[in-house]
Structure 1
Amino acid sequence: MSFIFNWALGVVLVLLLLTVFLWSAKNRRKPVQKKLQTPVFQEEFAEEAAFPVSQSETTPKISKHPIQEIPWNYGIDRLVLMVRDPNWIYAYWEITATKQEEFSCQFGAEAWSTSRPVLRVYDVTGLEYFNGYNANDYLDISINDFTDNWHIEVDRPNSSFCVDVGRVMPDGRFITILRSNIVKTPSVSISNLLDEEWMWIEGIYRSITKLHIGSSPMITEEIGQDMGIIPLGISSPGRPDKEV
């Protein structure tokens, strides 16, 4: 009897466990699957980088010493002549309103407007004094009333020049308004002046010491001093004074 009872009890327990398992499997909730949302891309605009600017940087700085522009005129009547090279000279000038009024007062109210401006270039080579009439020759260059400088081709190396700025009257007279300084153009040939003093000292050294070029100048000077030819204390080549 006990065997039958135990078997029946085991069957009941198995059925009970099976019933509980089936019930829990039926009522088990399925996991809720969340639908992924597609991200929405928004259009972005790059902004320019803006750095804070201090008020001192935006405010213009006023210098204590403002830069002054070079004036076109200085209010001085002058004519300056300079040498550019052996064949060219350069002149610049300024004629003030006062000078023009003086010209009009002397030659008439219409003299300035009826005359024409001219640059007269004088060759004064070899003259001890130039008075405006004793030049070797001259050249006239027509200019206008607004010209204040001119490059002049003289093509005469080793020559002296002077320039006048003036007006040529209707009757052909030339009236000088300004006169320049005198300049001399350089020579284009090699100078024929030789430094004989250096050549003389070199000859003395070679004849006395019989040393070749490249020998110590201190040794050469010492030997020359011992022989009584080169004076003591001399720092540069020079001809010794002759005894009277």
Structure 2
Amino acid sequence: MKKTAVKKTASRRPRARLKKSPLPFVDPAGQNGLNPEPPRAIFLEQPAVYPGTAPKAPGFELPPDYGDTKIALFAKDPWWLYAYWEVAEPDKAREAIRGLGLAVQRTVLRVYELATDSRAAERVSFFDILVGSTTGDWFIDVGQPDKCWMTELGFVADNGRFFALVGSEAVRTPRFGVSDVVDEEWSFSSELFWKIYRASGRIGAGASSYDVRAVVIESWQESAALQKKQLLLKGEGPSSFQSRGSA
């Protein structure tokens, strides 16, 4: 006789809940007998990195020179110039100077003040800057606005003779202040100035940018009409051009 298997369903017992014990109150003064544990310092065991010793990131580095012989001069502001230069194979120049029975004493940047905006202009004065290298750059304090300058890099021999290796183009320092050159074509009357000044809102109620634009266009139209009238009075108007073409 076969026995039938009896399936029993397992009953799930509820999980026992953990009782959270309340944290003991720690009195700072230690009146309840519980002394808090003092904080502990955490030390990381790794080598310290000091400034300047960090490894360089891989990348492209500019070469110290390019094997060229050139010098460039720029006007930085009304009082300062900036120059950078490079001389390829300067030892050949030193050997040539030795062939004259002289010795190179120092490397200087000679700065010339020119009479006009031309490299071939008359050299009014000059001064030397001891640079000590045939590759480098320098900020030059000339202290004179609206002047023309050029530079030469070269060697000074023991007898005081200067041997130029390379020269720059002429540059002019900008003037300090507003230019005194007045172009009549772009000049406008004081009446127009005050119209724009009022329309911009500086005096009284402000106006929109469209109103300011309208004032400027109106002034240009009046100026163009006046110039056309002056040309007609001088005989340079359209009629004069037609007569010239038919002749």
TM-score, normalised to structure 2's length?
0.53
CA shift, 1:83, in A, is 0.9
Q: Higher Cα Rg: structure 1 or 2?
A: 1
CA shift, 1:199, in A, is 3.9
Question: Which whole-Å deviations, capped at 9, do the CAs of 1:111-130 have from their partners, x for residues lacking one?
Answer: 89642111111000326552
Task: Work out whether 1:151 is the aligned partner of 2:139.
Answer: yes
Q: Which amino acid aligns with 2:72?
A: V
| 1:141 aligns with one of 100, 120, 129 | 129
Q: Secondary structure at the match of 1:104?
A: helix
| Higher helix proportion | 1
Q: Cα–Cα, structure 1 residues 239 and 71, in superposed 2: closer, same or farther, change >3 Å?
A: farther
Indicate if the aligned counterparts of 1:80 and 1:180 stay in contact, CA closer than 8 A.
Answer: yes
Q: Secondary structure at the match of 1:172?
A: coil
Give me the whole-angstrom Cα distance separating, in 1, the residues matched to 2:140 and 2:72: 13
CA shift, 1:186, in A, is 0.5
Question: Which whole-Å deviations, capped at 9, do the CAs of 1:132-191 have from their partners, x for residues lacking one?
Answer: xx3101001122136611111000100000101111111111111110111100011221
Q: Cα–Cα, structure 1 residues 84 and 230, in superposed 2: closer, same or farther, change >3 Å?
A: closer
Question: Which whole-Å deviations, capped at 9, do the CAs of 1:64-85 have from their partners, x for residues lacking one?
Answer: xx95332221111001101111
Task: Work out whether 1:95 is the aligned partner of 2:84.
Answer: no
Alpha-carbon RMSD: 3.7
Question: Which whole-Å deviations, capped at 9, do the CAs of 1:34-74 have from their partners, x for residues lacking one?
Answer: xxxxxxxxxxxxxxxxxxxxxxxxxxxxxxxx953322211
Indicate if the aligned counterparts of 2:94 and 2:104 stay in contact, CA closer than 8 A.
Answer: no
Q: Which residue of 2 aligns with 1:68?
A: 60
Task: Work out whether 1:191 is the aligned partner of 2:182.
Answer: no
Q: Which residue of 2 aligns with 1:123?
A: 113
Give me the whole-angstrom Cα distance separating, in 2, the residues matched to 1:126 and 1:150: 23
Give me the whole-angstrom Cα distance separating, in 1, the residues matched to 2:164 and 2:115: 20
Q: Which residue of 1 aligns with 2:72?
A: 80
Q: Which residue of 2 aligns with 1:162?
A: 150
Indicate if the aligned counterparts of 1:122 and 1:139 stay in contact, CA closer than 8 A.
Answer: yes
Q: Cα–Cα, structure 1 residues 222 and 161, in superposed 2: closer, same or farther, change >3 Å?
A: closer
Give me the whole-angstrom Cα distance separating, in 2, the residues matched to 1:175 and 1:188: 35
Q: Secondary structure at the match of 1:126?
A: coil
Q: Which residue of 2 aligns with 1:242?
A: 231
Q: Cα–Cα, structure 1 residues 110 and 73, in superposed 2: closer, same or farther, change >3 Å?
A: farther
TM-score, normalised to structure 1's length?
0.53
Structure 1: which 5+ runs fail to align?
1-65, 207-211, 232-237
Indicate if the aligned counterparts of 2:107 and 2:156 stay in contact, CA closer than 8 A.
Answer: yes
Q: Cα–Cα, structure 1 residues 239 and 106, in superposed 2: closer, same or farther, change >3 Å?
A: farther
